[in-house]
Amino acid sequence: MSTASDVATPVPPAGTHHPAVGAATGLLGDWTPGARFLATPTRTLLAGEAATPVPHDERPVAARVAAALAEARAGGQAAPVAVGAIPFDQEAPAALAVPRDLRTAPPLAGDPLALLPAEPPAAGAWTVRQVPSAEEYGDAVAAAVARMWRGDFSKVVLARTLELESPEPVALPPLLQRLARRDPGGYTFALPTGADRTLLGASPELLVSRRGGHLVANPLAGSTPRSEDLAEDVRRAAALLKSTKDLHEHAVVVDAVHQALAPFCTEMSVPSTPTLVRTATMWHLSTTVTGIPADPRTSALELACALHPTPAVCGTPTALARQVIAHSEPFDRGYFTGMVGWQDATGDGEWVVTIRCAEAEGRALRLYAGAGVVAASHPEAETAETAAKFGTFLGAVGASL
């Protein structure tokens, strides 16, 4: 009932050689806005501002990334890597680039210094605006549930945002430190998405990774907020494993992942029952799907694009769920529920679902959170779930809802 992000790595005794000590946290400490930082359970990456953007044109994004990597290799880069973010709408421009200076380190979770607490957020006077309001969000959930009972569709993921504003420009490096050190075994990122705009987050969900002849997907669906009381926290975890509503929601997502990846694989392993993973604020139902690609040339990003959007971030059927989202959400999702990750010239890479994230610009932060709505959903419960998911960022900046 734990993940790498929850397992403490012991500090070796004095005098013991440990080559990873300080390597990943050093890259974390060197990040500044405009640079690209990505920490995953397999590696830590830091790229400076010097980078060649992946162009936006009529070609599929995976083809554009492959071409940019091939061009970088032809230009003398021995091991080029593309890093960045892709929006929820794959047709929209992405924030992808091939850095010209890339530093790497082992995983952040393997660096004992990552266990040191980050500096707490300074006291500040944040103004917080909910878009939509909690009441309007609950109304949208109720309307979606009513349509499901009429048989229109079976699931939709509805999101809401918090618009935070500070009297001073947001200090992003210490914010990233707090996000990374809270869940060092997760997927932490800070990437430029425009002039003076930064996408930051700490996602628990791997969309898909490819390493040589193996792929892994880890869909999460079905969630419950954690409790500071240990007994209550365990009770909630156990209840989630037995929740008919959440198990159904999870099964829909796992089946969609299986169906999307099956055409690309010669072998697949899909466990019949989910397990639990936890973050600092949430319990999630989790299934780890593995497979062997039929064609070794199929890249991690091609697999990710075939999966995206899963019912975990959109709904089912997909086209109708997109329409409901567009009608119900009074904002553009942008990079929220898109993909963040990296890929090298061999096609290996990791792509993560962009959740538990915010976009920063000047004195403003926009936070995002969503919940899967099915016929058994209740507006109050889904509103409470999104509030709990906002906790990752609210705690990191010292604000409250």
Beta bridge partners of 399: none
Give the SS3 label for residue 136.
helix
311's tokens: 């019912």
* Cα gap 199→357, rounded to integer Å: 7
Q: Distance (Å, rounded) from C-alpha 321 to C-alpha 330?
A: 15
3-state secondary structure of 374: coil
User: What does residue 259 show for φ and ψ, rounded to 5 degrees?
Assistant: -65, -35
Tokens describing residue 38: 């990505």
| Closest to 105 in 3D by CA, of 172, 21, 13 | 21
For the chain, the C-alpha Rg in angstroms (whole number) is: 20
Known catalytic residue at 245: no
Among all chains, which residue has been given the structure tokens 């994004």?
61
Per the listing, tokens 């393997």 go with: 110
205 an active-site residue?
A: yes
Indicate which residue of 71, 205, 232, 361 is catalytic: 205
Rounded Cα gap, residues 56 and 159, in angstroms: 27
Please give the order of strands across the beta sheet that includes 275-278.
Answer: 220-225, 282-286, 275-278
Q: One of 136, 155, 163, 359 is an active-site residue; which one? A: 155
Active site positions, annotated: 155, 205
